[in-house]
Chains A and B, each alone.
Chain A
């Protein structure tokens, strides 16, 4: 009576100990030590049924028992039985020890090892208890599987939501009644509106703006099951309703498509906007760059043609007069004139080559500054002296209208480059003038010296004034090209002025004359790499 009472109590405890648990591993970790202790067993193991109906070791207790060679023998014995045979209580005696294979419902087999044999009646009752444990394990397994599937679904939903939210394209979703039910971050960015202001209140079928911009017909098509693409159209902010604010015109590319349920019924539509404004701007830039490149190509061809002329002309002169000199059938006056012409042609070629070298140095960044104390007045006078004869020869009056006072005239700058700038501008003024006055002027303005060289020459048409400092431009003045020169002079001059910390600009009227202004820093400072600060 007492013994039966204890046995019943043990069985009840085994049943109730795990009845509230839902996790498979918690159930096993809790129940197995209890079976060991309450049933005086030296081993408890679980062989779990796999998808192929075979049973494999899931857990064994104690740890040492699982490492023992006997366990493999016991395991092999019980796994050899068929699914049907396993439903009977199996018993195996090995090394005078008793092993029981109790059917864990469909979950697998519960192995118990004992030194003493179980009472047969007790064993029958125990089988029911283990069967119940198996039922709980199957349930927990199902719950865990369902939980895992739900977790996976939540994770997957989260990933899709992230994908939608982080998409650079605007995604708007509307239900079958046209009510907005989901939007992404790009939506807020494009329309500059918080999603909470439009979600579940904005209706795409009732929006006047949509009607105005002509999108409604496409939306209706989508509700009829058609996928629609509207590529590259301009969306004007003025068309938008008050709640949506957009700063300027945008270029959009839109796709509208339906979503269906399992039965093919349209439940939602998705409006997918691609903001292609930047793309459009980029396209425009590329177009402009292409035009510029074509312009450059044209200028380059003109330059090469001009350069060919600039080299060929003096070269013809040199070779022609050299040939004449060989013939010796001329007087001394002619001989001197020929030699002078050869000399002039040589000088002209040298000037062309100098210009080429200078522009290539400027463009490759190899042009260096040599800073020293420079007397600006002296440089102007020097230029004056150099070009005076040339001016006289064309009946052009050369005049220095203003020089600097005393010490103001001495500044630290690159003397050679100041000379080159002045010489070029004055020579240019003479070159493009038929008569009249060429005026040279310099004044101090704050930390700068401002120069101008004024002529009464042919002037520069207004549409060409901006481009006059570009390379090769002289070569591109079409019919008006009547002057020798590479067309590089002004771009070299501009580069030198900029290197010396100044600016150069032009005021000109066609057939009245031109004034070239430029400034120079009177306090030139260089950074470590020799650039003007």
Chain B
């Protein structure tokens, strides 16, 4: 698994690199991953993307990872040695259309030894419906890997990249006839009783156990942390106390609270009404241990034809916000003896067929192909 990082904003250099990959016989498709800071504008980038005859899929992400290090700027190009059947979805359109679009293009993408790259605008209107449609189409027949694109400022941004250019409120998928090995873990542990999500509105949980969500959350966190939770210290405290959605016979799905408001608790991704949740907690050690588990899982299922020395990482930007400088320790652990490249995302997508496809938060996903 090769990767090329263009650190500076240098169109000529990017053009040259892209051109080179386009000419190469062994390159069948390209992952185009760009950092949010100082990113190329649509007008700068579109001609380069248009000129490439190989399928390009990717997005703009809060940060990149190259050679085991965080990169706040630049472009990371990952040439793939297998072809991708790429497809862009406009998520402002009705949900019923996604299934029809999938049937039109992907009706023959049925090999169980396959992978599906998914990048989605993290602010897209119908994000969870799209993910559900993907599962209703591909099921557990493929291995999913991807994440939420966009800016940490949460401003609207055309952040999905294809050969046609940049797309806002969209998602892109690329189906490859190549098996991938995945490792997924988060390192968060529950400590609370089960709480029922009794009222929600979009990504906001209004009540837990029929009581105001913040009140319930505050009581639970204060009891565990011995710190009084206020509106001021909420962002700081809440990042170490995410919620976990209980699943039947499967790992909990982490949800990241990022804002408190009079209505309730706001999460990066939605929690459906009626779900059962627990409050989770983690520390540096547990999270790094989670990363180690993810690496171990990914490497345990390596096939002979897979790259034995490289890892592709989809890591949550909120883990960086939580671990701060210590995040480098997580990267050190993962990149030990391996070439590590990837992206820091707003929500992670991964599934090896163990459960229904969901968007994760505060989770690390490692993939090898």
Partner-B contacts on A (CB < 8 A): 2, 5-7, 9-10, 13, 33, 36-40, 42-43, 61-65, 67-68, 114-116
Say whether A68 contacts B137, CB under 8 Å.
no
Say whether A63 contacts B356, CB under 8 Å.
no
Q: Which residues of B contact A37 (CB under 8 A)?
A: 132, 135, 356
CB nearest neighbor in B for A63 = B137
Say whether A13 contacts B274, CB under 8 Å.
yes
CB nearest neighbor in B for A5 = B194
Provide the bound-state CA to CA distance between A13 and B274, in Å: 8
Given A63-B103, A64-B141, also A42-B248 (CB < 8 A):
no
Say whether A39 contacts B248, CB under 8 Å.
yes
Given A36-B356, A37-B356, A115-B353, also A62-B248 (CB < 8 A):
no
Say whether A61 contacts B354, CB under 8 Å.
no
Binary contact track B209-240/A, C-beta < 8 Å → 1, others 0: 00000000000000000000000000000000
Say whether A40 contacts B136, CB under 8 Å.
no
Closest 6 CB pairs of A and B: A62-B139, A64-B141, A42-B140, A37-B356, A63-B137, A65-B139
Binary contact track B117-155/A, C-beta < 8 Å → 1, others 0: 000000000000000100111111110000000000000
Say whether B354 contacts A62, CB under 8 Å.
no
Say whether B354 contacts A115, CB under 8 Å.
yes
Q: Which residues of B contact A114 (CB under 8 A)?
A: 249
Q: State whether the Cβ of B276 lies closer than 8 Å to any Cβ in chain A.
A: yes
Q: Which residues of B contact A38 (CB under 8 A)?
A: 248
The secondary-structure label for the interface of chain B is: loop
Say whether A62 contacts B138, CB under 8 Å.
yes
Residue of A33, A36, A116 most packed against chain B (CB within 10 A) = A36
Q: Which residues of B contact A39 (CB under 8 A)?
A: 248
Say whether B139 contacts A43, CB under 8 Å.
yes
Say whether B355 contacts A64, CB under 8 Å.
no
The smallest C-beta distance from B350 to any residue of chain A, in angstroms, reads 15
Say whether A6 contacts B112, CB under 8 Å.
no
CB nearest neighbor in A for B110 = A67
4 additional contacts (CB under 8 A) given A42-B140, A115-B353, A116-B249: A2-B276, A7-B248, A33-B132, A37-B132
Q: Which residues of A contact B137 (CB under 8 A)?
A: 62-64
Among B68-105, those with CB < 8 Å from A are 99, 102-103
Say whether A42 contacts B276, CB under 8 Å.
no
Interface residue count on the B side (C-beta < 8 Å)? 29
CB nearest neighbor in A for B103 = A63
Q: Which residues of B contact A67 (CB under 8 A)?
A: 110
Say whether A9 contacts B139, CB under 8 Å.
no
The secondary-structure label for the interface of chain A is: helix
CB nearest neighbor in A for B109 = A64
Provide the bound-state CA to CA distance between A37 and B133, in Å: 12
Q: Which residues of B contact A61 (CB under 8 A)?
A: 136, 139
Say whether B102 contacts A63, CB under 8 Å.
yes
Given A40-B356, A115-B354, also A64-B138 (CB < 8 A):
yes
The smallest C-beta distance from A94 to any residue of chain B, in angstroms, reads 14
Q: Which residues of A contact B248 (CB under 8 A)?
A: 6-7, 10, 38-40
The smallest C-beta distance from B170 to any residue of chain A, in angstroms, reads 22
Say whether A40 contacts B250, CB under 8 Å.
yes
Residue of B136, B137, B193 most packed against chain A (CB within 10 A) = B136
Q: Which residues of B contact A115 (CB under 8 A)?
A: 140, 353-354
Say whether A68 contacts B196, CB under 8 Å.
no
Provide the bound-state CA to CA distance between A39 and B247, in Å: 8
The smallest C-beta distance from A5 to any residue of chain B, in angstroms, reads 6
Q: Which residues of B contact A42 (CB under 8 A)?
A: 139-140, 353
The smallest C-beta distance from A181 to any residue of chain B, in angstroms, reads 47
Q: Which residues of A contact B132 (CB under 8 A)?
A: 33, 37
Q: State whether the Cβ of B246 lies closer than 8 Å to any Cβ in chain A.
A: yes
Given A6-B194, A63-B103, A64-B142, also A40-B247 (CB < 8 A):
yes
Say whether A63 contacts B136, CB under 8 Å.
yes
The smallest C-beta distance from B24 to any residue of chain A, in angstroms, reads 31
Partner of B141, one of A7, A13, A68: A68
CB nearest neighbor in B for A13 = B274
Given A36-B135, A64-B139, also A5-B110 (CB < 8 A):
no
The smallest C-beta distance from B85 to any residue of chain A, in angstroms, reads 14
Provide the bound-state CA to CA distance between A402 and B138, in Å: 112
Provide the bound-state CA to CA distance between A6 and B196, in Å: 9
Q: Which residues of B contact A2 (CB under 8 A)?
A: 193-194, 246, 276
Provide the bound-state CA to CA distance between A52 and B109, in Å: 36
Say whether A36 contacts B136, CB under 8 Å.
yes
Q: Which residues of B contact A10 (CB under 8 A)?
A: 248
Provide the bound-state CA to CA distance between A56 and B102, in Å: 25
The smallest C-beta distance from B194 to any residue of chain A, in angstroms, reads 5
Provide the bound-state CA to CA distance between A39 and B355, in Å: 9
The smallest C-beta distance from B153 to any residue of chain A, in angstroms, reads 32
The smallest C-beta distance from A125 to any residue of chain B, in angstroms, reads 13
Residue of A37, A40, A65 most packed against chain B (CB within 10 A) = A37
Say whether B136 contacts A68, CB under 8 Å.
no
Given A40-B249, A68-B112, also A33-B194 (CB < 8 A):
no
Provide the bound-state CA to CA distance between A65 and B137, in Å: 8
The smallest C-beta distance from B106 to any residue of chain A, in angstroms, reads 9
Provide the bound-state CA to CA distance between A65 and B142, in Å: 11
Provide the bound-state CA to CA distance between A36 and B99, in Å: 16
Given A6-B246, A40-B248, A68-B110, also A63-B274 (CB < 8 A):
no
Binary contact track B354-369/A, C-beta < 8 Å → 1, others 0: 1110000000000000
Sampled A-B contacts (22; CB under 8 Å): A2-B193, A2-B194, A5-B276, A6-B248, A9-B196, A36-B356, A37-B132, A37-B135, A38-B248, A40-B247, A40-B248, A40-B249, A40-B250, A42-B353, A43-B139, A62-B140, A63-B137, A63-B138, A63-B139, A64-B109, A64-B110, A65-B141
Given A2-B194, A116-B249, also A40-B141 (CB < 8 A):
no
Partner of A62, one of B135, B196, B250: B135
CB nearest neighbor in B for A1 = B194
Provide the bound-state CA to CA distance between A456 and B355, in Å: 125
Provide the bound-state CA to CA distance between A38 and B354, in Å: 13
The smallest C-beta distance from B54 to any residue of chain A, in angstroms, reads 26
Provide the bound-state CA to CA distance between A38 and B355, in Å: 10
The smallest C-beta distance from B192 to any residue of chain A, in angstroms, reads 11
CB nearest neighbor in A for B193 = A2
Q: Which residues of B contact A36 (CB under 8 A)?
A: 135-136, 356
Partner of B136, one of A7, A13, A62: A62
Residue of B112, B196, B248 most packed against chain A (CB within 10 A) = B248
Q: Which residues of A contact B140 (CB under 8 A)?
A: 42, 62, 65, 115
The smallest C-beta distance from A514 to any residue of chain B, in angstroms, reads 94
Provide the bound-state CA to CA distance between A53 and B249, in Å: 35
The smallest C-beta distance from A419 to any residue of chain B, in angstroms, reads 89
Q: Which residues of A contact B274 (CB under 8 A)?
A: 9, 13
Provide the bound-state CA to CA distance between A34 and B141, in Å: 18
Provide the bound-state CA to CA distance between A336 and B103, in Å: 115
Q: Which residues of A contact B142 (CB under 8 A)?
A: 64
The smallest C-beta distance from A36 to any residue of chain B, in angstroms, reads 6
Among B243-283, those with CB < 8 Å from A are 246-250, 274, 276
The smallest C-beta distance from B276 to any residue of chain A, in angstroms, reads 5
The smallest C-beta distance from B110 to any residue of chain A, in angstroms, reads 5
CB nearest neighbor in A for B141 = A64
